[in-house]
């Protein structure tokens, strides 16, 4: 069991340790390049793996903002970080050390004014899940209802600003170009994620809007919640890794894969609001064949213009009209932005045009097989190529848009699911038709009004 380093000095030591390891690894790598002219891509891959491991080891002890930053940036998949980080950082979804039991009891007493045994019929002081911002415990209410109680680690909100500054210094060594806007985006979401009352409202929003015969979400117990304690109904089921260990047949794989695919596409509507934490730890496959959706701290409300143009990328790539794609890439800040935009725009255009054609492949067919390894290899190729860019490109909102979309693809590829895409294409077409006149004129040109995707 582990305590939480909450003061700036203790947290600074962990950041300094991680930074020293990263710096040492880079020094050894560059010295080797000077001495050994045959240094190849394998040595660079090993460097990335060593640096990712060093950051992971320290940031899992820090938890909080530090770990959330690493998770968010490593799940971006847009080339902001080398892809070796994705594999290593994904371990943090399941292997974060919990805080000690005494601290759990004191937090509940402070927030709910009573100890857990005075509130619950029973309360398990051993966490059933521990993540970056808080950990989850199982309890039973006096009326016998089972609940999940999420407890926020102490002083998390107070550490966000200093953690961002220290983490940025480390990542600046590994990422070319200006990454400030991406860190600002992660920082803004972290402030929202540390407000458990806001998360409770999101739980109710999703429960009221999306609960169905095929999908289940928790319900919020507002009277047993504060901004640092979140109590919700308990949803039972298997996580992805547990599900796969049961050796499910293709019909089961397709069933749950379809539920995942449909859930994410059903969120494409006028609210522009998406469950933006698409990793396996946030979904359950229930005994009655429903999809359980968990953790509503990272719900992203996208600016209207970014959301439209991100959705419009599907027909634009399917049509492969270069003029239209050029307009689209400018609106999404893929072209025309950055210190070296003029010399890189042509290269970026061709890269993202080809990447887009590969990425939209599932929508080109009525049914798509995510078990096709050639698709995984193709997407992996483009992600790897993106790490060689001179600087990050794209709107800061891609941090969560790509996290959602590629997170979904990754889960479906692990399941080897075959999904029917017809309904999802209809949803996207309907959304675009309803918004088109606001952004595209009758001649097909994009309306040049002030973008709000900077907000």
- CA–CA separation, 310 and 398 (whole Å): 9
Q: Where are the domains of the chain?
A: 8-95+158-181, 100-152+195-234, 236-455
- Domain 100-152+195-234: give its CATH architecture: 2-Layer Sandwich (3.30)
Q: What angle do CA 249, 254, 256 make, to 5 degrees?
A: 100
Burial pattern 141-156, b for ≥16 Cβ within 10 A else e, equals: beeeeebbbbbbbbeb
* Average pLDDT per block of 10 residues along the chain, 455 residues long: 54 58 56 54 67 67 62 51 59 63 94 96 91 89 97 82 68 65 81 92 96 96 97 97 96 98 96 92 95 94 95 94 92 75 77 94 97 92 75 85 91 97 97 95 79 49
Cβ neighbours of residue 67 closer than 8 Å, sequence gap 6 or more: 59, 60, 92, 96, 132
pLDDT of residue 97: 66
- CA–CA separation, 270 and 99 (whole Å): 40
Give strand pairing partners of 147: 139, 233
Relative to beta strand 229-233, strand 215-216 is unpaired
How far CA 281 is from CA of 57, 69, 116, 168, 418, in Å, comes to 20, 17, 26, 26, 21
pLDDT of residue 191: 83
pLDDT of residue 257: 98
The answer to whether the beta carbons of residues 259 and 145 sit under 8 Å apart is: no
The answer to whether the beta carbons of residues 340 and 383 sit under 8 Å apart is: no
Q: 3-state secondary structure string, the chain?
A: CECCCCCHHHHHHHHHHHHHHHHHHHHHHHHHHHHCCCCCHHHHHHHHHHHHHHHHHHHHHHCHHHHHHHHHHHCCCCCCCCCHHHHHHHHHHCCCCCECHHHHHHHHHHHHCCCHHHHCCEECCCCCEECCCEEEEEEECCCCCEEEEEEECCCHHHHHHHHHHHHHHHHCCCCCCCCHHHHHHHHHHHHHHCCHHHHHHHHHHHHHHHCCCCEECCCECHHHCCCCEEEEECCCCECHHHHHHCCCCHHHHHHHHHHHHHHHHHCCCCCCEEECCCCHHHEEECCCCCEEECCCCCEEECCHHHHHHHHHHHHHHHHCCHHHHHHHHHHCCCCCCCCCHHHHHHHHHHHHHHHHHHHCHHHHCCEEECCCHHHHHHHHHHHHHHCCCCCCCCCCCHHHHHHHHHHHHHHHHHHCCEEECHHHHHHHHHHHHHHHHHHECCCCCECCCCCCCCC
Give strand pairing partners of 274: 300
- CA–CA separation, 422 and 399 (whole Å): 27
Indicate the angle between helix axes 8-35 and 156-171, nearest 10 degrees: 10
């Amino acid at each position: 069991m582990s305590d939480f380093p909450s003061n700036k000095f203790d947290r600074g030591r962990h950041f300094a340790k991680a930074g020293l390891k990263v710096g040492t690894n880079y020094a050894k790598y560059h010295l080797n390049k000077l001495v050994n002219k045959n240094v190849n891509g394998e040595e660079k891959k090993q460097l990335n793996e060593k640096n990712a491991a060093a950051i992971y080891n320290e940031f899992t002890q820090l938890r909080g903002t530090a770990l959330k930053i690493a998770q968010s940036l490593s799940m971006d998949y847009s080339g902001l970080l080398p892809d070796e980080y994705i594999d290593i950082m994904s371990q943090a979804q399941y292997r974060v050390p919990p805080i000690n039991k005494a601290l759990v009891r004191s937090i509940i007493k402070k927030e709910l004014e009573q100890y857990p045994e005075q509130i619950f019929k029973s309360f398990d002081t051993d966490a059933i899940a521990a993540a970056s911002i808080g950990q989850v415990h199982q309890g039973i209410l006096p009326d016998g209802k089972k609940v999940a109680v999420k407890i926020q680690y102490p002083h998390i909100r107070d550490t966000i600003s200093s953690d961002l500054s220290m983490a940025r210094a480390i990542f600046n060594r590994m990422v070319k170009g200006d990454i400030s806007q991406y860190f600002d985006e992660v920082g803004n979401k972290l402030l929202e994620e540390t407000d458990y009352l806001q998360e409770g409202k999101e739980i109710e929003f999703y429960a009221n809007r999306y609960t169905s015969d095929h999908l289940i979400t928790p319900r919020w117990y507002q009277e047993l919640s504060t901004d640092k304690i979140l109590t919700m109904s308990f949803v039972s089921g298997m996580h992805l890794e547990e599900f796969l260990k049961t050796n499910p047949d293709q019909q089961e794989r397709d069933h749950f894969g379809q539920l995942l695919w449909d859930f994410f596409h059903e969120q494409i509507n006028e609210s522009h609001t998406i469950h933006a934490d698409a990793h396996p730890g946030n979904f359950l496959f229930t005994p009655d064949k429903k999809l359980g959706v968990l953790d509503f701290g990272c719900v992203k409300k996208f600016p209207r213009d970014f959301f439209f143009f991100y959705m419009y990328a599907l027909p634009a790539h399917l049509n492969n009209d270069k003029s239209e794609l050029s307009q689209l890439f400018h609106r999404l800040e893929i072209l025309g932005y950055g210190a070296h935009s003029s010399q890189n725009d042509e290269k970026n255009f061709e890269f993202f045009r080809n990447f887009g054609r590969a990425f939209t492949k599932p929508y080109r067919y009525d049914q798509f097989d995510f078990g096709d390894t050639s698709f995984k290899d193709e997407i992996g190729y483009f992600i790897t190529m993106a790490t060689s860019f001179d600087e990050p490109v794209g709107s800061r909102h891609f941090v969560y848009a790509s996290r959602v979309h590629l997170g979904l693809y990754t889960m479906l590829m692990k399941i080897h699911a075959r999904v029917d895409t017809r309904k999802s294409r209809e949803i996207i077409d309907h959304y675009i038709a309803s918004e088109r006149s606001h952004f595209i004129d009758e001649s097909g040109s994009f309306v040049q009004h002030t973008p709000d995707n900077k907000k």
